Copies of this chain bind each other. A is one copy, B any other.
Amino acid sequence: MNYETPRPGRVIDALKCLSGISIDTPLLRSERLNSICDGTVFLKCENLQRTGAFKFRGAYNCLSRLDRNAFPGGVVAYSTGNHGQAVATVARILGIKATIVMPRNAPATKIQRAKDQGANIVLYDRATESREEIAARLAAEMPVAIVPPGDHPDVIAGQGTIAAEALLSLGHQQVQVIAVPCGGGGLAAGTCLATAAFDAKAEVWIAEPIGFDDTKRSLESGLREQNLSIEGSICDALLAPTPAELTFSINRKRVSQALTVSDHQVLVAMRFAYEEFRIVVEPGGVVALASLLSTPGILKGKTAVVVLSGGNVDRALFRRAIADDDLRAAF
């Protein structure tokens, strides 16, 4: 680990940095959802964020603080898609060179969108190649700054602005739970940092796909556990091999519940978001909502903010979520 644990105040710095740049995304609610959860739920819609995912926040907060003289080659990001897209977009906005290292089997829309931002794209095979090695090889040619998807204080602080906005909007003592999707853990860590920054009593809950519950098992064992595979879930945005070091050091102190959901439950939640809120949420972005929908009554009267972290989903998969098949909800 190269970085110290960021102070909570860095979330406030990130709020200032992102003011007028990122979208203060809406908080949506419905009586039907409240009734299912037996509580009051506010969906924080980061699928409506610029680039269609929360990753824009961390990328902007990080790149806007880059020492450009030290890194003439600009920035490199290795990413399952949304982070790469965010870095590509932010780099274009700020006039910084960007190279994005992406798995060859990432959704086609995500690859094309990064290209559209003028980024240099390097594709790799997720099963046989290491994205970290490729990024390091690029860095050896010309000084570049590697922007990790989660393990960087400025990235974490940037993601923390989501919870910060919700706490500011709803009143920081009014929220008992903040539930977020969890891959490498950057969004969860930022959320933990935000609750600390506001001295809020809100619990932080995370949700992961079944079979990719590395953070849940790590929280139980106290060690950074591995996933058995990094393929085999429709939640492509969450398939990190293991919790990142810095994010886990934060999450282990503050995350109080870890939930898991199946691909089927994810599809049901995507359909629910379509019908009840008229929004498009990608599989990895909907897992926290899916975990609540799959456990009726889970809130027991509490008020919760549930982060929908992204909305970049291929049309074919979205059509599957809203198909007239035997997809049945548990509620």
- A interface, CB within 8 angstroms of B: 23, 25-26, 28, 47-48, 52, 109, 274-275, 277-281, 311-312, 315-316, 318-319, 322-324
Contacts and interface: CB of A to CB of B under 8 A. Distances in A.
Contacts of A277: 48
B278 A311 contact: yes
A193 B274 CA distance: 33
Nearest to A285: B278
B311 A315 contact: no
Contact of A322 (B25, B311, B315): B315
A312 B48 contact: no
A278 B52 contact: yes
B324 A275 contact: no
Given A23-B26, A319-B319, 17 more contacts: A23-B28, A25-B26, A26-B26, A26-B48, A28-B48, A48-B277, A48-B279, A52-B278, A274-B318, A278-B279, A278-B280, A278-B281, A278-B311, A279-B280, A280-B280, A315-B322, A315-B323
Nearest to A52: B278
A231 to B, nearest CB: 24
Nearest to A117: B31
